[in-house]
Amino acid sequence: MTGDTEELLEIARQAVAEADNKLTRAVVATAIRGQRIPLSSDTLTQLMAQLREQQRKNQLVEADRS
């Protein structure tokens, strides 16, 4: 993963957290483009896949703890 991708993921994670954990393309795209960072549809799709996978893993960990 490139540094650019990691930066985009961090912006996206923060935006999702601020949006009550609503992981949507609109939330992520608005946050990234709001930083004046160009974002292609393909890149957004890749970011969403990574974020959803991380979210799924986090939910599994939380379920294991209870």
What does the pLDDT profile of the chain (66 residues) look like in tens digits? Answer: 566 999 999 999 999 999 999 999 999 999 999 999 999 999 999 999 999 999 999 888 888 887
Q: What is the DSSP letter of 39?
A: -
> What per-residue confidence (pLDDT) applies to 1?
55
> What per-residue confidence (pLDDT) applies to 37?
96
> What per-residue confidence (pLDDT) applies to 64?
86
Judged by DSSP in three states, 20 sits in coil
- Rounded to two decimals, the pTM is 0.88
> What per-residue confidence (pLDDT) applies to 20?
96
- Residue in the block written with tokens 């990574």: 50
